[in-house]
Chains A and B, each alone.
Chain A
Amino acid sequence: MSYAKGLVCRECGEMYDLIPLHVCELCFGPLEVAYDYDAIRANISREEIERGPQTVWRYKKLLPVGDQPLVDIQTGCTPLLKADNLGRKLGLRNLYIKNDTVNPTFSFKDRPVTVAATMARSFGFDTIACASTGNLAASVAAHGAKAEMRCVVFIPSDLETSKVTNIAVYGPTLVAIRGNYDDVNRLCAEIADRYGWAFVNINLRPYYAEGSKTLAYEVAEQLGWRAPDTVIVPTASGALFTKISRGFEELSDVGLISPAKPRMGLAQAAGCAPIVSAHEANSMTIRPVKPSTIAKSLAIGNPADGYYCLKVIKETNGLAGSVTDPEIVEGMRLLAQTEGIFGETAGGVSVGVLKKMAEAGLLDPDETIVCYVTGNGLKTPEAVASALPEPMNISANIGEFDTAFAVRQQAEPILA
């Protein structure tokens, strides 16, 4: 059975049945799933979750899904790594990296999409769709394949070939749209309105967004059923940020962890930081921006949940920061070269902002901090490639190696 009791408007509180609807008919405010928390509290336990599958579906009672068949490509239960090497560099003794680069399509998007795809099929849709520049598109296409649903993915016409390949391999109908970003965005909204498809981040958005809560559940379970003190979350639309915060609250509400309110740290790329800008201006109004950053997966200039992110930051005494493109690259290198994790540009944003906050003395050296790395670096290798040293190029001759190695050792010691 599902413990979801309906959809509720985040602005006016109007309730709706569990249907494919994302905007309140009265005030146009966004809808989210409402649960019967008393019933969940009476029927959930740590032990039951621990016996569950090694996927996000171990938290099914906290998701809007009942007994219907799951569209499951084994997402979740990704590593939470104690980052001692990175922590030492930043002066943080209890730093963890939530490594979500190892999901089936190599980003956290598999979490919301597995929920959205499951709901899409149970609502009776035959077509699943999205508009995306990369991570979401790959995830929707993969889940569409697994669900044996028709899949339509809209991409900008100038998307790089490597990214198109990462989507096309799953066999969706790919539609490349010419035009500037705003025109493409409006067209996709119109198509979503006109065709009776399951657009995961439009008409299924309330369900889709719920999947991101599992990034809080897993972290709490992996820490021994407790919330961290502070988290750093790379942020685009804001749904991930608000849902991670909600996830920790829910665990506390249903009695799985002691009451806790982690300080929520929001990380954006300086070239697309409308939420950070509003926070710094002490304003609750998001001014849309035109993105210009190498962190393409975070390039949302008009974030739907921006206002709610600002509320979460206020309520949790949270933090917000941004990093430039060179700092993003530096963050990617730092993470890879201290912890052995190759995160995409969004990971560079998280680590870059974490570093800035640590250097500014905003983080307690002994508090438990979790930094979320949400996508795999192999998706955006070009972002960091030019910042890396060239390999030593030699012929198969030991003398040549000796000389080249000695020169390199002087320039950049490899061995201690």
Chain B
Amino acid sequence: MAKRRIRLFFPTDLITEPVVYMMGKRFEVVTNIRGGEISGDSGWLYLELAGEDDEIDRAIAWAIETGVRVDPVEGDIIAG
């Protein structure tokens, strides 16, 4: 079983949506929230996903489709 650490960024219109719950429901992944912050108009979460690689890929692709930004916990890795 693989594990992946990601950072979700929620734009204003998605702060109230149960995205993490739906991710665990729709895909065979274990979601584990490890940190985060929600302010008035945006929010972010550190999330650990455990599952098969392909299933994690599908869960991430679905989250992106819903409008959530998904990044590695490290942020942008490709440096100048």
- A residues near B, CB below 8 A? 11, 22-23, 26-29, 109, 130-136, 154, 156, 181-182, 184-186, 188-190, 192-193, 201-202, 205, 236-237, 283-285, 287-288, 296-306, 346
Closest CB of chain B to A280's CB: distance in Å? 15
Closest CB of chain B to A58's CB: distance in Å? 26
The complex places the Cα of A410 from the Cα of B78 at a distance, in Å, of 48
Would A288 and B80 be within 8 Å (CB), given that A27-B34, A28-B35, A28-B46 are in contact? no
Contacts of A186 in B (CB 8 A): 60, 70-72
Would A193 and B4 be within 8 Å (CB), given that A28-B35, A285-B44, A298-B80 are in contact? yes
Closest CB of chain A to B44's CB: distance in Å? 7
Cβ of B19 under 8 Å from chain A: no
Most buried by B among A130, A236, A302: A302
17 inter-chain pairs at a CB distance below 8 angstroms, sorted by A residue, are A28-B46, A28-B48, A28-B73, A131-B77, A135-B80, A184-B78, A185-B76, A185-B78, A186-B70, A186-B72, A193-B4, A202-B77, A237-B76, A283-B39, A288-B9, A300-B80, A303-B75
Is B79 within 8 A of A236, CB to CB?
Answer: yes
Known: A185-B76, A237-B75, A302-B76. 8 other contacts (CB 8 A): A27-B46, A109-B79, A133-B80, A182-B71, A193-B4, A237-B76, A284-B39, A304-B74
Is B79 within 8 A of A300, CB to CB?
Answer: yes
Cβ of B58 under 8 Å from chain A: no
Quick one: closest A residue to B44, CB to CB? A285
How many B residues, CB 8 Å from partner? 24
Judged by DSSP, the binding face of B is: strand
Is B74 within 8 A of A299, CB to CB?
Answer: no
Contacts of A156 in B (CB 8 A): 78
Cβ of B69 under 8 Å from chain A: yes
Contact of B80 among A28, A283, A297, A305 (CB under 8 A): A297
Is B35 within 8 A of A27, CB to CB?
Answer: yes
Would A181 and B74 be within 8 Å (CB), given that A23-B5, A28-B5, A285-B37 are in contact? no
Contacts of A182 in B (CB 8 A): 70-71
Is B80 within 8 A of A304, CB to CB?
Answer: no
Closest CB of chain B to A373's CB: distance in Å? 14
Closest CB of chain B to A142's CB: distance in Å? 15
Cβ of B66 under 8 Å from chain A: no
Contact of B77 among A23, A134, A189, A297 (CB under 8 A): A189
Is A11 within 8 A of B39, CB to CB?
Answer: no
- Give chain B interface residues in 26-80, CB to chain A under 8 Å: 34-35, 37, 39, 42, 44, 46, 48, 60, 69-80
